[in-house]
Structure 1
Amino acid sequence: MTPSLELAGVALAADLARHGDRPAILTGGSVLTYQELAGRVAAFAGRLGTARRLVVLAADNSVGSLVAYLAALASGHPLILAPAGNDAAVASLVAAYDPDVIVRPGTARTPRTAGAAGDAWGEPALEEVRPVTNHTFHPDLALLLSTSGSTGSPKLVRLSRENVQSNAEAIATYLDISADDRAATTLPMSYCYGLSVINSHLLRGAGIVLTDLSVVDPCFWQLFRNRQATSFAAVPYTFELLDRVGFTDMDLPDLRYVTQAGGRLDPAAVARYAEHGRSRGWELFVMYGQTEATARMAYLPPHLAAAHPGAIGVPVPGGSFRIEPVPGLDDGELVYAGPNVMLGYAQTPADFAAGRTVTELRTGDLARKNAAGLYEVVGRRSRFVKIVGLRIDLGQVEKMLHRMGLQAACAGTDRKLVAAVEGSHDTRLLAKMLAQDLGLPRAAVEVHTVGELPRLGTGKTDYRAVLALGAEPCPAEPAAGATAGALPTTPAAPEDVRRIFTETLEIEDISDGDTFVSIGGDSLSYVAASVRLEKALGHLAPDWHVTPVRDLQARARPRRSRRRFVAPLETSIVLRAVAIVVIISTHVDLIRWPGTAHILMALAGYNFARFQLGGDRLPRLRRQLVSVARIVVPTVVFIGAVMLLTDKFHYTPLNLVLLNTMIGPAGWTDAWHFWFVEVLVYVLLGMMALLAIPWVHRTERRFPLAFPVALIGAGLLARYGLLGFDILHTRPVLWLFALGWAFARARTIPQRLALSAIAAVALPGYFGDPWREATILAGILLLAWVPALPLPAILHRVVGVLASASLYVYVTHWVVFPDLKDNHPVLAVALSLAVGVAYWAVWVRLMGRIKRY
C-alpha cells in the first residue's frame, strides 16, 4: 500500500524550539531545555521516517517515552499509547492493530531519589515491524488512546491534531499556565489525564518535573521543593494518600494550584481542600472529562469550590454543554460539543481511514444546571460501574447469571458488585465464578440469595434494594465524570493484600502505610507472598515489595477473565526452585550438575539489596537480625533434633553454632552438610556489622552501586588468594554475594554489561570445572537480564512452594535420601523435597502460633 505523504504534526510538539533555553524537563539531577528537547525530538522523528506509520508506544514517565511521544506527534505519525510494564496490554494492542513501529522505554530511567545526579536521558528502544505501512490513515488522525480498562477487544479513541492542540490550549487558558509554571508528574503519561498535564505545559513553555515517585514517598516532596514545582494533578485516591502523609502541614512555597479529575471527589473533601488551599495561597481546580473529549470538558472555578463542591462547573474554553431530555427521568443526559471531541472510535485498523463520525459527545451522565449556572452530574444513564478501573456492564452480568439458569439482578458502586439471586445457591462459589469471569478481585463481588427479586411498585427491579444487600447505601450522587481510561476512582479494599501479608509473615497489626519490607519481609517470605499476590491481584509491579499496602492494591491491574496457560514468573523465584531440585538431584547422583548453590549465593546478595537495605540504620539492623534468625533458628533446631534422635550422622557441636566451615576440620565429613547455610550466615552478619557503622551506612546510601562494586573488588582479592590468609575452608563467596547486590542496584545497560563482564572474567578457574562455572555464569546472567521467565501457569504454585521452602529442603534432605539413593534415586529426590516442604509448612505455622501467643 502506498504510504501517506508526510503531514504537519501537532503544533505543541512541533514548535518546541520556540521556547529556547527555558527548562522543559527537570528530574532529580538534570535539566533539559526546550532547545535540547526539540533536538532530541527531531532526531527520534528521523528514526520514525517521513512516511506516516502506525506507532505503538509503551510509555512510562521517562524522558525517552516523552521524546518518542512528541516525535510521533510532531512528525504526523499516528500514535497508540499503552502503559509500560503491562506487557499484556501492549501485546493486545499489537495483535489488534498491527503497528508498523513499536517503541519501548530506554534503559536509563528517571532516578527514584530526589537528589540523584547525572541522570542519563535514556534512548527509547525502537522495533521496526515494517518500513512501509499497510494501513490507510485519515489526514487528521494524530493520537489513539484506550477508552478504559474494560475486558475484550481493545477499543481506541481516535483523536485529531486539532483535538490535542485545542484541549491543551483550553486547559492552559483556564489554569492560566505560564512559562514560569512547573508541573510534577503524579500520573502516568499513558493515562489521558496525565498526558493532558504534559501537553498543556509544553504548549506554554512551562517546565515538567518528570518523575514516577508516589506522593507517599518523601523523595517526591523533596524533588517538588527542589525543582520549585507549582502544581500537581490528583485523582480521588490521591487525596486519601495526601491525608496520610500530612500534606496540609507541608511547606510548599511554590505551589500555585492542584487539579483533580479521574472521577468524582467527595464534596466534603472538595470543600476541605478548597478552604485549605485558600488559606495557604494555592487553588483547587476540580475538573470533569472523558478520553473521548481529549481529557477535559469542564472545570469548577476555584472560588466556587467551597460553595458548590458537588458541581463539575462550567465548560472549558471553546466547549459547550446541553442537557438532552431522557424519557421517564427528571434529569437529562449531558451532551458536550467542542473542538476537542474525538473523531470517533477505532475497533479495527480499517477505522484509521475514517474521518469524523462524531460531532458531539454523549457523556452517558445525567446532569442538571444549578441556580449558580454550574453543571452537576447526578447519575448515569447506562448501567455501568467502574471497579478497580474495570468497566462492568451490569446488564451483561445479569445475562451471564441467566445463562446459568439463575434469576438475578445486579447493582454496584465503584467499590463492588452486588448480585441478588433467587433461590438457594452457594453464594461463595457464585461470587468466585463471577470474579474470575469479570477479572475482578474476589473481595469486590458479593452474591446474596433472596426469595424473590425486589421490585418497585411499577414491577421494575428495585436496584437500590439490591445494592442495600451489600450493606453499602446507594450514593446520593453517583460517580460523576468517570473518565474513560482513568485510574480507579475509588481504590479496592486492601484487605486481600493485608491478609496475604498477615498469613505470610504472621504479623497481625498491618497498617495501610506498611510495605512488605517495612514489616519484616525478606527473601524467604517474598516468594510465598509474591505468588499469592499475583494470583489475587492479577499483576505485580517490580517494586511491589516497597509499595504501601493500600497503594499496592490500588495500583494493581485486575486479572482478565481469560486464563493464561503460560505466564511470566519472576526469575529469582524460578532460580531458587530449580536450584534446590538440581542440588538434591546431584547429591543423590541422579544427575551431575554442580554450581547451582553458588547461584543461590549471588541471589542472596541480590535479595539482600532488595529487602534489607531500606530504612534508617537501627531499624534496618533489627530487620536484618530477624531475617538472619529465620535462617539460623530452623537450621539449628533441625541439627539438634538429628543429633538427639540418631547417631547415624556425625554432626558436632560446631554444627549447632554454625562454625564448622570456619574452624572445623577441612576434610569433607557429615559436619560439612550445612556449609552453604553457615557461609551465608557469615556473609550476612558481616554485612550487618559493616553497615551498622554510621559512616559506612551513609556511604552505602550515597553510592548505592559503587558500594557493592567495592565489595566485589574486596571479594576478588580473596577469590584470587591475594589476601595472604583464608578464614574459611570453602572457596571465597563474598564477591558472588556482592555481585548479586550490585546487579540489584544497576539501572542501566552499561552498568549491567560491566557487571556481567566481571562475572565472565572472574568465574573461569574458580573451580577448574568449566561446566560448573558456566552454570554459575548462566544463572547470574539470567538473574541480571531476564526479569521473568515464561512458565505454565499451572506450575506457578509448585515453583513458589519449592522456592519458599528451599532453605528447609536443603537443611533436611541430608537425612532423607541416603537409604534410597542407590536403588530409588527419583523417589529419594521426591521424598527429600516433600520432607523439606513439610518442615517449612510446620515451621511457618508454629512461628505464627508463637507470635499470636
Structure 2
Amino acid sequence: MIPTYDKIHLKFKLNGSSYDKEDLKEVSYSLIKEGETYERVIGNFLLDWLDEKDTVEVQTSGSTGTPKIVSVSKQAMVHSALATGNYFKLSPGDRALHCLPTSFIAGKMMLVRALILGLELDVVAPSRLPAYDDQVEYDFCAMIPMQVKENIERLNHIKTLIVGGAAFPATLMPLIEDLPGKVYATYGMTETLSHIAVKPLNHLKDEGHFQVLDGIEISQDGRGCLVIDAPDLMVENMVTNDIVKLYSEKEFDVIGRIDNVINSGGVKLFPEQIEAKLDANIGQRFFISSEEDEVLGEKVILVVEKDDSSITPSTFKALDKYEKPKAVYVVDHFEETISGKIRRKNTLELLKKYAKQKPLI
C-alpha cells in the first residue's frame, strides 16, 4: 500500500524524538518562534506539509534562469521519497543526517523521506563544516561537493552518501575511493523533485553511469537532449537542455548543456568536458566559455575567480588542440544563484567591465 502525504510514519524521529502530526505542528511553531534561521525554514516547511493543502511551494535555484516559485504535489514528493528509499534499500528506523538548506528541494526532500520512510533524522545547520557527530553511524546523507571536500575525513561512518547541486570534481574521486560507504552523484532538478537518477562514484568494478530510479522513463529529443517522463512525479515529456549519451533505457551520462556548446572552427566543444580535464590543475573556481573570433567563429576562453598565478601552459597539457583556451580572464567574484551555483552568463557580462585578461605564456 502506497503511503499518503497526510500520514507520518510511526518510526519517524526528528533529532531523536518521536512525533505525531499534532506534536510535530507544535515543534514547528517553536522552531519558527525560537529557532535559528535554518530551523525557522524547517518549521515553515513542516507547517506547509502538515496543512490541508495537497501542494507546497518550492523555489527553483535559478541556475538556468530567473529563480521562481513553483507549486508541487505533496503526493508526488511522497513518490520521489519512495523511489529513493527503494533504490537505496532504506528501512524504517534507519538513521539519516540532514545538513542541506531546507530552502530548496534537496533539503525539503530529506524531511519528506524521513516522514514517509520512517527515518530517524538528525538535523544540523547547513554549512561547509556541518556540526554533526562524525562517530555516529548514519545510513543515509545528502551533501553538496563542497561539503564532501571539506569533510572528507569525517565521512567514514556514512553508509550511503548522495552528492548533488554541482558536478562532482575529479580531484575528489581518489579521496572517496577508500571510504567504507558508497558515494553517488545525483541528477535532477526542482521540477523533478530532486534526483531522478544516481551514479555510483566509488567501489566500482566497471565505469559507472547514471541509473534512473523506479518509475522514470528517459529518451532523447532531436538535439540529443534528455527527455524525462515520470507520471508518479507529475512530470510528462520534460525536455531538458542536457545533451546525454544513452546506454540503455535506464542508463545515461551527461555530456554537457546545449546552451553551453562552443563551435570553434567547425568543432563542437563541451565546456563541461574541458572543465573535467582541468579540474585537477586549477586551484580556484573557474569555468570554460567562449567569445567571438573572426577566424574560428568562437574561441575557447577560461574564466577564473581570483587569480592565484597557478595557471601556466602546463595547466592545459591534458587538453586537445581545439580545447585549449585562447584567452584567460580573471574576475574578483563569480555571479551566483541563491543556492551558490555559478551563473555563467551573468559572470560573462562582468568581463566587459571588470575582468583582467591574464597573458597566456
Q: Which residue of 2 aligns with 1:748?
A: none
In terms of fraction of residues, the more strand-rich structure is 2
Counterparts in 2 of 1:216 and 1:75: CA distance versus 1, 3 Å? closer
The structure with higher relative contact order (CA 8 Å, sep 6+) is 2
Q: Which residue of 2 aligns with 1:337?
A: 229
> What secondary structure does 1:194 align onto?
helix
Q: Which residue of 1 aligns with 2:322?
A: none
Q: Which residue of 2 aligns with 1:262?
A: 165
Superposed counterparts of 1:523-534, under 5 Å: none
User: Shift of residue 68 of structure 1?
Assistant: 3.1
CA contact (8 A) 2:139 2:160 kept: yes
Residue 289 of structure 1 pairs with residue 188 of structure 2: yes
Distance across 2 between alignment mates of 1:242 and 1:229: 15
Q: Which residue of 2 aligns with 1:178?
A: 91
Distance across 2 between alignment mates of 1:233 and 1:44: 24
Letter aligned with residue 24 of structure 1 = K
Q: Which residue of 1 aligns with 2:148?
A: 239
CA contact (8 A) 2:217 2:249 kept: no
Q: Which residue of 1 aligns with 2:45?
A: 69
Distance across 2 between alignment mates of 1:59 and 1:159: 26
Residue 225 of structure 1 pairs with residue 127 of structure 2: no
In terms of fraction of residues, the more helix-rich structure is 1
| Structure 2 portions without partners, runs of 5+ | 30-34, 263-269, 276-284, 305-310, 320-329, 348-361
Letter aligned with residue 199 of structure 2 = L
Residue 467 of structure 1 pairs with residue 359 of structure 2: no
CA contact (8 A) 1:177 1:201 kept: no
Distance across 2 between alignment mates of 1:72 and 1:378: 38
User: Shift of residue 230 of structure 1?
Assistant: 2.9
CA contact (8 A) 2:256 2:273 kept: no
Residue 453 of structure 1 pairs with residue 289 of structure 2: no
CA contact (8 A) 1:235 1:263 kept: yes
User: Shift of residue 67 of structure 1?
Assistant: 3.8
> What secondary structure does 1:212 align onto?
coil
Q: Which residue of 2 aligns with 1:369?
A: 246
Distance across 2 between alignment mates of 1:177 and 1:159: 24
Letter aligned with residue 261 of structure 1 = G
> What secondary structure does 1:318 align onto?
coil
CA contact (8 A) 1:538 1:557 kept: yes
Superposed counterparts of 1:508-587, under 5 Å: none
CA contact (8 A) 1:324 1:333 kept: yes
Which of 14, 18, 23 is the equivalent residue of 1:25? 14
Which of 320, 324, 329 is the equivalent residue of 2:217? 320
CA contact (8 A) 2:260 2:271 kept: no
User: Shift of residue 209 of structure 1?
Assistant: 0.6
CA contact (8 A) 1:341 1:360 kept: no
Letter aligned with residue 15 of structure 1 = K
CA contact (8 A) 1:272 1:306 kept: no
Residue 168 of structure 1 pairs with residue 81 of structure 2: yes
| Structure 1 portions without partners, runs of 5+ | 1-9, 47-57, 78-139, 327-331, 343-357, 386-410, 417-442, 477-492, 498-535, 540-553, 562-853
CA contact (8 A) 2:101 2:126 kept: no
Q: Identity, % of aligned pairs? A: 18
User: Shift of residue 11 of structure 1?
Assistant: 2.9
Distance across 1 between alignment mates of 2:99 and 2:117: 20
Letter aligned with residue 315 of structure 1 = V
Superposed counterparts of 1:324-723, under 5 Å: 324-326=221-223, 332-339=224-231, 341=233, 359-370=236-247, 374-383=251-260, 453-456=293-296, 461-462=297-298, 465-467=299-301
Q: Which residue of 2 aligns with 1:840?
A: none
Which of 10, 14, 22 is the equivalent residue of 1:39? 22
Counterparts in 2 of 1:321 and 1:72: CA distance versus 1, 3 Å? same
User: For residues 377-409 of structure 1, what are the alpha-carbon distances to aligned partners after superposition, in whole Å with 9 as ceiling and x for unaligned?
Assistant: 111122399xxxxxxxxxxxxxxxxxxxxxxxx
Distance across 2 between alignment mates of 1:474 and 1:161: 50
Which of 179, 203, 219 is the equivalent residue of 2:116? 203
CA contact (8 A) 1:41 1:67 kept: no
Counterparts in 2 of 1:285 and 1:454: CA distance versus 1, 3 Å? same
Q: Which residue of 2 aligns with 1:276?
A: 178
User: Shift of residue 304 of structure 1?
Assistant: 7.4
Structure of greater Rg: 1
Distance across 1 between alignment mates of 2:199 and 2:94: 20
User: Shift of residue 164 of structure 1?
Assistant: 1.1
Superposed counterparts of 1:143-154, under 5 Å: 143-149=56-62, 154=67
CA contact (8 A) 2:160 2:183 kept: yes
Letter aligned with residue 115 of structure 2 = L
Which of 212, 217, 223 is the equivalent residue of 2:125? 212
